[in-house]
Amino acid sequence: MLVRVASTLIVVFWLGTTGWLLKTLYFNEEDRFEPIAVEEAIGTFFRSNDTTNLTVLENGVKIGQMVVGGLEGVDPRTRKMTRGLTSSGTLDEPESSALNGFTWRLNANFSDSNEPKDLEATLRLPQQDLNLHFELNGDPPQVGARVTIGEATIFETGELSADDLGEALSGKGNGMSSRSANPIPMLLPGLSSPAGKSILADANSMMPKLEASKGFLEVAGRPLPVFLLKIRFGDGTMGEPIRLYLSEAGEPLRIDTGWGFEAVAEVLIPVEISESDARRP
pLDDT class of 248 with cuts at 50, 70, 90: very high
Q: 140-180 pLDDT, tens per residue? A: 667 788 889 988 888 887 544 444 444 544 444 444 343 33
Half-sphere exposure of 255 (CA within 13 A, CB side): 26
The CA dihedral of 118, 259, 191, 125, to the nearest 10 degrees, is: 80
Q: What predicted TM-score, i.e. pTM, was given to this entire model?
A: 0.68
Region 23-28 average pLDDT: 42
> Of 102, 100, 141, whose CA–CA distance to 17 is shortest?
102
Contact in structure between 3 and 165 (CB atoms under 8 Å): no
C-alpha 89/C-alpha 35 separation (Å) is 32
pLDDT score, position 170: 47
pLDDT at 85 over 80: yes
Query: Under 8 Å CB-to-CB from 28, ≥6 apart: which residues?
Result: none
pLDDT tens-digit series, residues 180-201: 334 344 444 334 444 444 434 4
Helix or strand holding residue 143 (H, E): strand 142-149
Q: pLDDT of 267-281, one tens digit each?
A: 777 644 443 443 344
pLDDT interval class at 237 (50, 70, 90)? low
